Chain A
């Protein structure tokens, strides 16, 4: 490619400082699920991940609401990225996010009153979920809408997967049921501790321990190969 072609290509797509490097859409999507999982790797959004994760149904509902807010606000922020002045961008992002959170809160109250009651204030608290503002600041505000949506969708799915893993574990161990169906039969003595607050910390801690063990094992194997 000649220098001329390079400059015209650069002019067609202005480079935003700090913008993520270009890559295919499916990679943008996949990153949130695996390599950059918001809960497991980035440790964002821990509050909802532990607070409402004592039943799988709660995890699913929370995940769905978060995916909706994340995708919609990322899309809108990305579309408005050239209009939003840099100085007030955080306030604007928060307002956009709060709007979609209100929508999902009202929809949930209208169509899923039971779920809305169990999740309680944690639905409006999606506003202060650091994943959403983090994605807006690090990604959506700097790229085209398609990429922003792919990234938001991946992050949302990654968050929901983590949430479902934690909540399924806590529900099965803590009450012997999954989504209301008995798993271990009537003779199982439920480990009630797991659906109480300390169980949330413990499950999360065990998960990080397993991941730490896995990481150490990989490191040791790599050292062996090099040696």
Chain B
């Protein structure tokens, strides 16, 4: 049980990293990662929403969607959208400082594909409640790791002397490619 859970956690965190291996949540990965603080804060908010989604999806799958599997996509996106709305209201009420720091990125979590991807794969892999939560934690922390690493590199990049043609996105994507290559090194972890 424990071995299985830790395998789910680490394989999602490193081998199948949501951002660098599965190409999920790239909008925020490229859009928000200019400062390290916002990077890891957004990662934390994403992790929180991912865990909540895992619980909600388990409830939906167990009690509602068994009768109507064709409603999956619609049901998931509605639940995710309302979940993000609730989280946003709760943070606004109880943690106003954090709310101001996250700003527009909080509602944008709804359209982060990592969340819907988690809901869909959790269903197809038949994860239970605990497995789902561990899966969400692994995915969320993986996102946070990628966001923080990228943001710290880009903070340095700001003061670097870069040729004009690479100023916009070109160089950032090449860096992402190198990071992704580094993460590919984890792929042998399970087989050895």
Residues of A within 8 A of B (CB): 43-44, 46-48, 50-51, 91, 94-95, 98-99, 101-102, 105-106, 121, 124-125, 127-130, 133, 193, 196-202, 204-206, 208-209, 211-213, 215-216
- Stretch from B58-66, B67-75, B96-104 at the A interface: B67-75
B113: chain A residues at CB < 8 Å are 47, 125, 128-129
**A47 touching B26 in the complex, CB below 8 Å, given contacts A94-B81, A99-B74, A208-B169:** yes
B116: chain A residues at CB < 8 Å are 124-125, 127-128
A215: chain B residues at CB < 8 Å are 165
A128: chain B residues at CB < 8 Å are 77, 110-113, 115-116
Would you list which residues of chain B between 70 and 122 have a CB under 8 Å from chain A?
70-74, 77-78, 81, 110-113, 115-117, 120-121
Which residue, of A43, A91, A128, A193, has the highest number of chain B Cβ atoms within 10 A?
Answer: A128
A196: chain B residues at CB < 8 Å are 184
Shortest CB distance A99–B (Å): 7
Residues of B within 8 A of A (CB): 20-27, 30, 70-74, 77-78, 81, 110-113, 115-117, 120-121, 124, 164-174, 176-178, 180-181, 184
Instruction: Give the complex CA separation of A213 and B120 in angstroms.
Output: 40
A102: chain B residues at CB < 8 Å are 70-71, 73-74
B124: chain A residues at CB < 8 Å are 121
A193: chain B residues at CB < 8 Å are 181
Interface pair B26/A212, CB less than 8 Å apart: no
Shortest CB distance B161–A (Å): 16
Which residue, of B73, B121, B184, has the highest number of chain A Cβ atoms within 10 A?
Answer: B73
Interface pair B176/A47, CB less than 8 Å apart: no
- Top 7 closest A-B pairs, CB basis? A205-B173, A201-B177, A212-B165, A51-B23, A209-B170, A208-B170, A198-B180
**A124 touching B78 in the complex, CB below 8 Å, given contacts A46-B26, A51-B22, A205-B176:** no
B74: chain A residues at CB < 8 Å are 95, 98-99, 102
A212: chain B residues at CB < 8 Å are 164-168, 170
Instruction: Give the complex CA separation of A213 and B25 in angstroms.
Output: 27
Which residue, of B20, B24, B74, B166, has the highest number of chain A Cβ atoms within 10 A?
Answer: B74
**Chain A residue nearest to B16 in the complex (CB):** A197
Instruction: Give the complex CA separation of A69 and B34 in angstroms.
Output: 33
**Chain B residue nearest to A204 in the complex (CB):** B173
Additional 7 contacts, C-beta under 8 A, given A98-B77, A128-B111: A48-B23, A102-B74, A128-B110, A128-B112, A196-B184, A199-B177, A208-B170
B167: chain A residues at CB < 8 Å are 212
Shortest CB distance A224–B (Å): 16
Shortest CB distance A174–B (Å): 14
Instruction: Give the complex CA separation of A94 and B85 in angstroms.
Output: 14
**A205 touching B171 in the complex, CB below 8 Å, given contacts A94-B81, A98-B73, A124-B73:** yes
Shortest CB distance A175–B (Å): 17
Instruction: Give the complex CA separation of A109 and B24 in angstroms.
Output: 23
Interface pair A95/B78, CB less than 8 Å apart: yes
Instruction: Give the complex CA separation of A197 and B184 in angstroms.
Output: 8
Q: B77 contacts which of A94, A130, A213 (Cβ < 8 Å)?
A: A94
Instruction: Give the complex CA separation of A91 and B81 in angstroms.
Output: 8
Q: List 23 A-B contacts (CB under 8 A).
A: A46-B26, A51-B24, A91-B81, A94-B78, A102-B71, A121-B120, A124-B72, A124-B120, A125-B120, A127-B77, A128-B77, A130-B111, A197-B21, A197-B23, A200-B180, A206-B174, A208-B169, A208-B170, A208-B173, A209-B170, A212-B167, A212-B168, A213-B165
